[in-house]
Amino acid sequence: MVSSARGFFGQFAHIDWPLLVSAVTISLAGLVTMNSFAPENTFFDRQVIWIIAAVSVFLLSSIFDYRFLRRSITVTVIFAVTVFLLFLLFIFGDVVKGAQSRFDLGVFAIQPAEIAKLVLIVLLAKYFARRHIAIAHIKHILVSGLYAFVLFVLVFLQPDFGSAIIIGSIWLGMVLVAGISRKHLVLILITGFIVVSGLWFAPLHNLLDTEQPLLREYQKARILTFLDPLADIQGAGYNAYQSTIAVGSGEVLGKGIGYGTQSKLQFLPEYETDFIFAAFAEEWGFIGILLLFGLFGIVIWLVLSAAMRGASNFETLFGVGVAILIISHFIVHIGMNMGLLPVTGTTLPFMSYGGSHLIVEFLALGMLMGMRKYARTVRHDDERKEFVGI
């Protein structure tokens, strides 16, 4: 009996428990924030289930050996399946708040865009693992950019501007880590400016043959409101305005759990998802914000530490990609909650309500732990095979 128990727990001996505890603590902070608004809250009950499921996924995914992801055919198939799922959304996807971004399966819903983010990390890690030395060649930037652009367009057309931004951020971050030259970086920035201009002005014939701009009017309104916050407080700028009030009203110690007036009285919309940081800041104050930032700092630091101990470039780049995913979500979410960035509907990792993003985030950490398991036992000839293409 004792030996069986040791064997069971031995399967998880490689797990970085401070990483898991920090991520779960952030999730619990979000759970407490959701529960403080009303005695009966379905968001709280559902999120409890999602957190339990996410931790279970973390533990299960940490058991596997992910060296099979180094094979090109495996990654290609995964990418193709992801693209196919994103295409299916335009036919079978459930429309919620104007976005056709999820499959409604009755008991729960799945958002393929969240899966696409993790798949892009795996794909770019595989691509750059062998080509990091040749990254100075524009070909590899263009090819990797094409992979990301396919996912970006399919997600953007849902429309899910927030997830599209994260996909673009993952690609840019991993290209920078792979060692892009300054000349090519400037070229990318110029190209990005041209693309944004095109999104603003260019029309699009959609599936119903009705002409509409690539960038929807409400999305333009959010950007214009960001540039002039007081231009439309009762309209497009309402959410951002209420969010900044909530963050500022928390002051040093916060109003206390359940006493957030902006959030509890429903002045702050989407408090459980897009504006959960503002709701948290109102109740926990500046001290609570520091603690939350500290937890995110620990998570990112431990992810990067695991990445630096990767058995090969693939594992290292995968870990860096996971860190970029978390950092991108963190910056965009906090920025829009504080009025520093336009509102894009981006969740806060581990904390916002929702199952798809939570499962994917804990899955990414679990995969990193699985890679950590063989990081110190990998043979040198395995690393040589990766670079020579065997």
**Does residue 234 carry a pLDDT above 70?**
no
**Does residue 9 carry a pLDDT above 50?**
yes
For residues 272 and 344, what is the distance between their CA atoms, to the nearest angstrom?
Answer: 15
Give the pLDDT score at 161.
84
**Does residue 120 carry a pLDDT above 90?**
yes
The amino acid at residue 46 is R
pLDDT band at 176 (very low <50, low <70, confident <90, very high): confident
For residues 234 and 240, what is the distance between their CA atoms, to the nearest angstrom?
Answer: 10
Residue 26, Cβ density class (10 Å: 0-12 exposed, 13-18 middle, ≥19 buried): buried
> Which of 278-287, 291-300, 367-376 has the largest mean confidence?
291-300
Lowest mean pLDDT among 60-69, 167-176, 190-199: 190-199
Q: What is the mean pLDDT of residues 156-177?
A: 89
**Does residue 358 carry a pLDDT above 50?**
yes
Q: What is the mean pLDDT of residues 212-235?
A: 55
Q: Which of 110, 18, 57, 126 is nearest to 367 (CA)?
A: 57
Lowest mean pLDDT among 84-98, 327-341, 347-361: 84-98
Q: Which of 384, 352, 324, 312 is nearest to 67 (CA)?
A: 312
Question: Dihedral (C-alpha) 275, 362, 120, 82: value to the nearest 10 degrees?
Answer: -90
86: Cβ–Cβ under 8 A, 6 or more apart, which residues? 112, 113, 116, 151, 154, 155
For residues 290 and 268, what is the distance between their CA atoms, to the nearest angstrom?
Answer: 22
Give the pLDDT score at 281.
92
pLDDT band at 338 (very low <50, low <70, confident <90, very high): confident
Sign of the Cα pseudo-torsion (43, 44, 49, 53, in order)? positive
Give the pLDDT score at 201.
61
For the chain, give the percent of residues with pLDDT over 70. 76
Give the pLDDT score at 198.
62
| Residue 213 main-chain phi, psi, to 5 deg | -70, 150
**Does residue 209 carry a pLDDT above 60?**
no
Give the pLDDT score at 299.
98
Residue-wise pLDDT for 35-73, tens only, equals 755 556 678 889 999 999 999 999 999 999 999 999 999
Phi-psi region at 335: left, alpha or beta (left = phi > 0; alpha = psi -120 to 50): alpha
Q: Which of 255, 274, 383, 285 is nearest to 334 (CA)?
A: 274
Give the pLDDT score at 381.
47
**Does residue 200 carry a pLDDT above 60?**
no
For residues 129 and 126, what is the distance between their CA atoms, to the nearest angstrom?
Answer: 5
Residue 273, Cβ density class (10 Å: 0-12 exposed, 13-18 middle, ≥19 buried): buried
Q: Write down the pTM of the prediction.
A: 0.85
**Does residue 371 carry a pLDDT above 80?**
yes
For residues 198 and 376, what is the distance between their CA atoms, to the nearest angstrom?
Answer: 48
Q: Which of 48, 100, 39, 80 is nearest to 258 (CA)?
A: 39
- All structural domains of the chain with their residue ranges: 16-36+43-180+216-388
> Which of 90-94, 182-186, 232-236 has the largest mean confidence?
90-94
Establish whether the linkage from the previous residue to 269 is cis, with ω within 30° of 0: no
Look at the block and give the residue holding tokens 């041209």: 194
Look at the block and give the residue holding tokens 């994103």: 86
Q: What is the mean pLDDT of residues 20-29?
A: 96
> 10 Å Cβ neighbour count for 373?
19
For residues 30 and 350, what is the distance between their CA atoms, to the nearest angstrom?
Answer: 8
**Mean pLDDT, all residues of the chain:** 81
Establish whether the linkage from the previous residue to 159 is cis, with ω within 30° of 0: yes
